[in-house]
């Protein structure tokens, strides 16, 4: 796991597998994980009971919790990053914009606990991921360079509201069909999956934002040509504006610099829109995956024929 963490932390800045340094730690993680699974599968008293993955519900719930942890951590990083880099917020103000999400969790967590006694776990999980899909699609179409602090807080509330329903229902569904003595193992592995998901998606989403921003920068840059009347008019207007306030011979260069700065900000915003759209599709996939879980009766234990 140390190899995986170093690979994820250094991958983007060192060109991922294009770097020998990253390849070493990627190989360490791959061979270490294979060795761990082989050892734990054969052990009479394993530290990590990988045989639990033979149970369908537990295996699916581990994947679902990995995604919940990833979404929670990725969203917690993406929005403040956007606010500080593109909206000019300080770290304090960007953090304050997240507080609405915390209040939403505080209110909805007890309600989600009550809902587990009224609805099948898989239905709650599907509803939770449907909520994620709606939130991320809405964010991808409404996150802009002109949004206010209040709207930024509202986006955070939308993104955090589905978490209690997913988190509690997935945890409950993971125990369906398992022996009681596996309780400690289930809890440990599910929480481990959540933490791993957070690490993976933070790195992946950060890399995607960078790559998509560069893609959009290149596409937008194609329009910065003298033959483009919109660009030519904007350049002339800015050149005149800078010339009138003492720009002198540097007015043209200052105007081009201003346009290029705007282009970079717009390209970065589009990169964030792209990653939220990708999170939308991931949530849709997990929503359908939830229906692969065995259906339990609310308030009861293992359904007949599960596992």
**Which helix or strand (DSSP H or E) is residue 63 part of?**
helix 56-86
Among residues 297, 281, 206, the alpha carbon closest in space to that of 8 is found at: 206
Q: pLDDT tens digit string along 32-69?
A: 878 878 887 877 777 778 888 888 889 999 999 999 99
Distance CA(185)–CA(49), nearest Å, equals 7
pTM above 0.95, yes or no: no
Residue with tokens 């599960």: 306
Residue 219 CB: number of other CB atoms within 10 A? 11
Q: How many CB atoms lie within 10 A of CB 142?
A: 14
Q: How far apart are CA 119 and CA 83, in angstroms?
A: 38
- Ramachandran bin of 49, using left for φ above 0, alpha for ψ from -120 to 50, beta for the remaining angles: beta
What is the spatial distance between Cα 289 and Cα 274, in angstroms, rounded to a whole number?
23
Residue in the structure block whose two tokens are 């481990």: 192
Query: CA-CA distance, 280 to 137, in Å (whole number)?
Result: 6
Choose among 68, 74, 69, 89: nearest CA to 152. 89
How far is it, in rounded angstroms, from Cα 286 to Cα 114?
Answer: 23
Most confident listed range (32-41, 104-113, 250-259, 290-299): 104-113
Rounded Cα distance, 261 and 273, in Å: 19
Q: What is the pLDDT of residues 87-143, one digit of tens each?
A: 999 999 999 999 999 899 999 999 988 888 888 889 999 999 999 999 999 999 999
Q: Which helix (H) or strand (E) holds 87?
A: none
Look at residue 304 and tell me whether its pLDDT is greater than 60.
no
Check: CB of residue 161 under 8 Å from CB of residue 195.
Answer: no
Could you tell me which residues come within 8 angstroms of residue 216 by beta carbon, excluding any fewer than 6 positions away?
A: 266, 267, 270, 271
- Confidence at residue 182, expressed as pLDDT on a 0 to 100 scale: 78
């Amino acid at each position: 796991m140390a190899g995986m963490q170093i690979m994820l932390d250094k991958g983007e800045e060192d060109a991922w597998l294009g770097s020998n340094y990253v390849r070493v730690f990627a190989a360490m993680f791959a061979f270490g994980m294979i060795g761990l699974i082989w050892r734990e599968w054969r052990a009479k008293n394993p530290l990590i009971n990988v045989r639990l993955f033979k149970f369908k519900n537990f295996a699916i719930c581990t994947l679902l919790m990995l995604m919940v942890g990833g979404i929670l951590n990725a969203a917690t990083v993406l929005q403040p990053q956007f606010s500080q880099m593109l909206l000019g917020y300080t770290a304090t103000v960007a953090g304050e914009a997240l507080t609405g999400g915390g209040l939403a969790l505080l209110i909805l967590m007890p309600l989600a606990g009550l809902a587990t006694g009224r609805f099948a776990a898989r239905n709650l999980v599907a509803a939770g991921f449907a909520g994620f899909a709606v939130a991320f699609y809405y964010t991808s179409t409404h996150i802009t360079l002109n949004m206010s602090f209040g709207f930024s807080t509202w986006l955070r509330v939308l993104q955090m509201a589905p978490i209690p329903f997913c988190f509690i229902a997935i945890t409950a569904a993971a125990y369906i069909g398992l022996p009681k003595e596996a309780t400690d193992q289930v809890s440990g592995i599910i929480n481990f999956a959540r933490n791993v998901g957070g690490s993976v998606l933070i790195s992946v989403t950060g890399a995607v934002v960078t790559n998509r921003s560069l893609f959009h920068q290149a596409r937008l840059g194609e329009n910065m040509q003298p033959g483009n009347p919109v660009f030519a008019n904007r350049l002339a207007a800015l050149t005149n504006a800078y010339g009138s306030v003492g720009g002198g011979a540097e007015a043209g260069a200052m105007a081009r610099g201003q346009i290029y700065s705007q282009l970079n900000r717009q390209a970065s915003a589009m990169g964030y829109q792209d990653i939220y759209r990708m999170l939308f599709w991931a949530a849709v996939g997990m929503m359908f995956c939830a229906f692969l879980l065995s259906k339990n009766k609310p308030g009861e234990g293992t359904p007949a024929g599960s596992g």
